[in-house]
């Protein structure tokens, strides 16, 4: 266990995964400072006790002032854009938000001597994998701009780490879903596109139906298969990664974050029906561009590297927490 706990800057801390990370860091005793431009995040999602700056990570000058003012010892970088189909339609947005602005943030870290950097990457860096489960050594050949925009940031981080006094942990997320089991945070994204969020909205009558994008993939039932990971397990891995970086400043890591098993779209919708006790209307639609058929993690590396013990692997539990959050009344705006 790390004894000295310094302030951690969380970018995107008003967003879905970032707000859960802030809670997990605070639960573990780390002081947290949040930066978020509130384009997709919510001020009200920033947990109590975390100083908040409405700032874009691409504003290097302001970020440097914040790093200095709070004596930041590590950065957890969540801010970015996350919708695969949107990245296909608007690639420059993704190369700006996920790549160019990350470059500015990394430069600020180097200039201010911040020694540790944890980066939100994605399984989309693997593209359409040859094997059914992908390990960190699998080839990285993104099939959409989202994956490429994150892979480019990974490459920058590795080069910067080799040249400067910084170590990093790149976490490649599989499909993140669910909400804080204590109900303190959840996914509030408007116009959501991710399957479990869309499906729980439909289960509660907030949408008329769920589209099934493609039934002709080379998978067990023809629909897309993904490795859904509970957001609380994911952010627990971040806190452990930070502790590992602090303990071994000469070591950097790239780790898959998934459970190593997959569910098809139909299996996810079955789980939502089971948990909600209803029946969502399903509509078959063509494949979305940029969607691989199957993406499942090989997670032996993260299990061997960090003392990570996933606690919420059950798909019904993931769905149940997502539903609990979705049932809450909308958060009151904070001025």
Stretch that binds ligand UDP, among 1-9, 180-188, 206-214, 239-247 (CB under 6 A): 206-214
Instruction: Pick left, alpha or beta for residue 71 (phi over 0 → left; psi -120 to 50 → alpha; otherwise beta).
Output: left
Q: Is 19 exposed, middle or buried (0-12, 13-18, 19+ CB in 10 A)?
A: buried
Shortest CB 114 distance to ligand UDP, Å: 29
Q: Which residues pair with 297 in a beta bridge?
A: 134
Among 71, 132, 182, 193, interactor with ligand UDP by CB under 6 A: 193
**Residue 99: which of 147, 168, 42, 40 has the closest Cα?**
147
32-36 vs 282-285, strand pairing mode:
unpaired
d(CA 261, CA 247): 31
Q: Which residues contact 319 (CB under 8 A, 6 or more apart)?
A: 177, 178, 196, 199, 200, 268, 271, 272, 275
Range 160-189, binding ligand UDP (CB under 6 A)? 175
Select 209 or 248, whichever has its Cβ closest to ligand UDP: 209
Shortest CB 266 distance to ligand UDP, Å: 9
Stretch that binds ligand UDP, among 163-171, 205-213, 230-238, 244-252 (CB under 6 A): 205-213
Binding pattern to ligand UDP, positions 238-277, x when CB under 6 A?
---------------------------x------------
Do 97 and 77 touch, CB atoms closer than 8 A? no
CA dihedral 97, 83, 319, 37 (to 10 degrees): 30
Active site residue 94: no
Shortest CB 193 distance to ligand UDP, Å: 5
Shortest CB 174 distance to ligand UDP, Å: 8
Q: How many residues bind ligand UDP (CB under 6 A)?
A: 15
Shortest CB 91 distance to ligand UDP, Å: 16
288 binds ligand UDP (CB under 6 A): yes
Among 212, 246, 255, 322, interactor with ligand UDP by CB under 6 A: 212
**Residue 57: which of 74, 80, 40, 73 has the closest Cα?**
80
303 binds ligand UDP (CB under 6 A): no
Q: What interhelical angle do 60-69 and 101-112 show, nearest 10?
A: 40
**Interacting residues toward ligand UDP by CB under 6 A:** 84, 175, 193-195, 198, 210-213, 224, 226, 265, 288, 291
Residues involved in catalysis: 146
């Amino acid at each position: 266990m790390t004894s000295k706990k310094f302030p951690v800057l969380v970018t995107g801390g008003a967003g879905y995964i970032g707000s859960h990370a802030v809670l997990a860091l605070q639960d573990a005793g780390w002081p947290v400072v949040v930066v978020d431009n509130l384009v997709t995040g919510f001020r009200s999602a920033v947990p109590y006790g975390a100083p908040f700056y409405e700032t874009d990570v691409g504003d290097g000058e302001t970020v440097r002032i914040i790093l200095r003012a709070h004596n930041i010892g590590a950065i957890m970088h969540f801010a970015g854009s996350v919708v695969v189909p949107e990245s296909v339609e608007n690639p420059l947005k993704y190369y700006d938000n996920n790549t160019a602005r990350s470059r500015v943030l990394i430069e600020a870290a180097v200039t201010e001597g911040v020694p540790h950097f944890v980066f939100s990457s994605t399984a989309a860096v693997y593209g359409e994998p040859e094997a059914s489960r992908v390990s960190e050594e699998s080839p990285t050949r993104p099939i959409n701009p989202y994956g490429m925009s994150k892979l480019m940031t990974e490459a920058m981080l590795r080069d910067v780490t080799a040249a400067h006094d910084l170590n990093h942990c790149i976490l490649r997320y599989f499909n993140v879903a669910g909400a804080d089991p204590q109900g303190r945070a959840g996914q509030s994204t408007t116009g959501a596109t991710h399957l479990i969020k869309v499906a729980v909205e439909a289960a509660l009558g907030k949408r008329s139906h769920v589209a099934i994008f493609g039934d002709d993939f080379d998978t067990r039932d023809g629909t897309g298969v993904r490795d859904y990971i509970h957001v609380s397990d994911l952010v627990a891995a971040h806190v452990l990664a930070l502790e590992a970086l602090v303990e071994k400043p000469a070591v950097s890591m790239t780790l898959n974050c998934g459970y190593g098993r997959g569910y098809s779209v139909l299996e996810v919708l079955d789980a939502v029906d089971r948990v909600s006790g209803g029946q969502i209307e399903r509509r078959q639609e063509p494949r979305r561009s940029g969607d691989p058929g199957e993406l499942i993690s090989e997670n032996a590396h993260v299990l061997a590297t960090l003392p990570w013990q996933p606690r919420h692997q059950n798909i019904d539990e993931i769905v149940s927490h997502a539903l609990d959050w979705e049932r809450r009344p909308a958060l009151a705006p904070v001025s």
